């Protein structure tokens, strides 16, 4: 983030907004996973239209700076939890607390929706993410495997609101 770059409050995006810049942020932010995780990220199957559909059926939140989106997250209400997915922060904005702000927002949204927790998944291979989410108060609740895999591929986390 440039020295003078301001960030606004998280803003919920509508399905009719242009999602190209948010999709580009996600693509760049998730690129470090290529070759590290198996199977590949579902982001590879998410195009701009699918992101707009997520804004229609779930909640797409963004934190913007002077030059466009700096961080984003997709929040999806489920039966008993708010699922936090596709959390991304631009490389130039890392270390500025934007992910923490979006996680705080997810806890507020869960409470407002009458849900008892926020849950998320991260890949088994991304141990640095496990440590980050644990430090932010999330507890491991188990593991799951993608279809066709006989080993765990994701670690499930949950935090009460």
pLDDT in tens, 100-128: 999 999 999 999 999 999 999 999 999 99
**Does some domain include residue 128?**
yes
Cα distance between residue 148 and residue 81, in whole Å: 26
**Does some domain include residue 2?**
no
For residues 102 and 10, the answer to whether their CB atoms sit within 8 Å is yes
Segments forming the whole domain that contains residue 104: 11-160
Domain tally, the chain = 1
Q: What pLDDT is attached to residue 116?
A: 97
**Does some domain include residue 4?**
no
pLDDT beyond 90 at 5:
no
Q: What is the DSSP letter of 66?
A: T
**Does some domain include residue 116?**
yes
**Does some domain include residue 6?**
no
Contacts of 158 (CB under 8 A, 6+ apart): 81, 117, 118, 119, 120, 138, 139, 141
**Does some domain include residue 113?**
yes
pTM for this model (two decimals)? 0.94
- What angle do helix axes 20-30 and 48-57 make, rounded to 10 degrees? 110
**Does some domain include residue 136?**
yes
The sign of the torsion formed by the CA atoms of 123, 129, 131, 137 equals negative
Please report which helix (H) or strand (E) contains residue 105, including its range.
helix 98-112
Interval 45-91: pLDDT, tens: 999 999 999 999 999 999 999 999 999 999 999 999 999 999 999 99
Cα distance between residue 85 and residue 83, in whole Å: 6
Secondary structure class of 36 (helix, strand, coil): coil
**Does some domain include residue 5?**
no
Instruction: Report the CATH number at residue 101.
Output: 3.40.630.30
Q: What pLDDT is attached to residue 8?
A: 83
> What band does 1 get if pLDDT is binned at 50, 70 and 90?
very low
Tokens 């700096």 label which residue? 70
């Amino acid at each position: 983030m440039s020295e003078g770059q301001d960030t606004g409050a998280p803003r919920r995006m509508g399905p009719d907004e242009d999602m190209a810049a948010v999709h580009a942020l996600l693509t760049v932010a998730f690129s470090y996973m290529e070759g590290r995780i198996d199977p590949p990220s579902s982001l590879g199957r998410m195009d701009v239209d699918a992101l707009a559909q997520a804004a229609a059926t779930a909640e797409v939140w963004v934190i913007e700076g002077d030059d466009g989106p700096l961080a984003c997250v997709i929040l999806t209400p489920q039966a008993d939890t708010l699922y936090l997915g596709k959390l991304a922060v631009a490389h130039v904005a890392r270390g500025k607390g934007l992910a923490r702000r979006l996680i705080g927002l997810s806890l507020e949204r869960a409470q407002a929706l009458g849900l008892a927790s926020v849950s998320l998944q991260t890949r088994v291979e991304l141990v640095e993410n496990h440590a980050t989410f644990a430090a932010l108060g999330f507890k491991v609740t188990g593991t799951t495997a993608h279809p066709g895999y006989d080993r765990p591929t994701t670690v499930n986390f949950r935090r009460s609101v």
